[in-house]
Amino acid sequence: MSEQSLNDIDVTARVLGAAFYYAPDQVPDIIELLISSKWVEDWPYGSVEQKQAITEKMTKAQRDDETLDEAYQRLFIGPYALPSPPWGSVWLDKENVLFGESTLQLREWMQRNKIDIQLTQNEPEDHFGLLLMMTAWVAEHCPDKLTELLAQHILPWGFAYLNKMQEKGDSPFYVGLAELAQLTLAAWQETLNIVADKKIIFYR
């Protein structure tokens, strides 16, 4: 793969990963970038029309009764049931649990390939945002493992998660973010010619 292709994956994975993982007030520069149209010209994936449609959605006002930080709380923290849970094992485990078998498989893969992410608390490594940031790290430090990470641990459930976020997110910014992530993930898959592992999606 070319250095430019790896750099494109690295940069876009960092931006998307941070936007999915961190509360908006923790990454104000990234939020400001995404709700502007400044990213459209430089984003390497998708047509201009697709990206303009996404940015129009992301720049729409939030619901009158909800700030962007409140939308993040509702979609990623709770206390109520999350419309689209961001952890892989919720989608891939029969019991829809955290720290399920797929999380343990990811953890073993990380240990085998000496990939260590610094978590500030005891949380599953298969959070969608964390996985995208891990994608950026792998693209930079061990690109030969990029296909494995995507094929085994992200693609099998990532599109289902993003589809549900678009369907149930009820936040213009996060619905647009899910659309951008879906477009980008599809481009990575095509660029790397990846056939995703077939796994059953249990979460509905």
Residue 28 has which token pair?
A: 């104000």
> What's the pLDDT tens digit per position in 131-173?
999 999 999 999 999 999 999 999 999 999 999 999 999 999 9
Fold of 3-192: TorD-like (1.10.3480)
pLDDT attached to residue 120: 65
Confidence of residue 128 (pLDDT cuts 50, 70, 90): very high
Indicate the SS3 state at residue 127: strand
pTM, whole model, 2 decimals?
0.95
CA gap 145, 36 in Å, rounded:
33
Task: State the sign of the Cα–Cα–Cα–Cα dihedral 79, 161, 174, 19.
Answer: positive
> What's the pLDDT tens digit per position in 13-53?
999 999 999 999 999 999 999 998 889 999 999 999 999 99
Cβ proximity of 135 and 98 under 8 Å: no
pLDDT attached to residue 123: 84
Q: Is the pLDDT of residue 10 over 80?
A: yes
Residues 6+ apart with CB under 8 A from 101: 89, 92, 93
- Dump the DSSP string for 31-42: HHHHTSSTTTTT
Q: Is the pLDDT of residue 122 over 80?
A: no
Cβ proximity of 177 and 35 under 8 Å: no
Q: What is the mean pLDDT of the chain?
A: 93
